[in-house]
Amino acid sequence: MPELPEVETYVRELAPELTGRAVNSAQVHWARTIAAPDAEAFPDAIVGQRFAAFGRRGKYMLLTLESGDTLIVHLRMTGKFQVKPAAAVPDKHTHVLLGLDDGRTVHFHDTRKFGRIWLVGDPAPVLARLGPEPLGDAFSAQGLAEKLAGRKAAIKALLLDQRIVAGVGNIYADEALFLAGVAPQRPGGDLSEAEVAQIRHAIRQVLARAIELRGSSLGGSSLQNYLRPGGEQGGFQTEHNVFRQTGNPCPVCGTPVVRTIIAQRSTHYCPNCQS
DNA sequence: ATAAGGCCCTGACCGC
DNA sequence: TGCGGTCAGGGCCTTA
What is the mean pLDDT of the segment spanning A3-24? 96
CA distance A171 to A209: 13
Task: Report percent pLDDT > 70 for chain A.
Answer: 98
pTM recorded for the entire structure: 0.96
Name the residues contacting strand B (CB < 7 Å).
A 32, 92-93, 111-114, 150-154, 157-158, 187-188, 220, 222-223, 263-264
Protein-proximal positions, strand C, CB < 7 A: 7-12
What's residue A219's pLDDT? Answer: 66
A224-228: long-range contacts, CB 8 A cutoff, minimum separation 24:
A225/A1, A225/A2, A225/A77, A225/A78, A226/A1, A226/A2, A226/A6, A226/A75, A226/A80, A227/A80, A227/A82, A228/A9, A228/A10, A228/A13
What is the mean pLDDT of the segment spanning A226-236? 90
Query: A90 CA, B7 C1': separation in Å?
Result: 28
What's residue A218's pLDDT? Answer: 82
What is the mean pLDDT of the segment spanning A70-90? 94
Query: A244 CA, B11 C1': separation in Å?
Result: 19
Say if residue A221's pLDDT is above 80: no
Nucleotide nearest to A75 (CA to C1'): C10
A45-54, A88-97, A218-227: range with lowest mean pLDDT: A218-227
The reply to whether A5 has its C-beta less than 7 Å from any atom of strand C is no
Say if residue A89's pLDDT is above 60: yes
The reply to whether A260 has its C-beta less than 7 Å from any atom of strand C is no
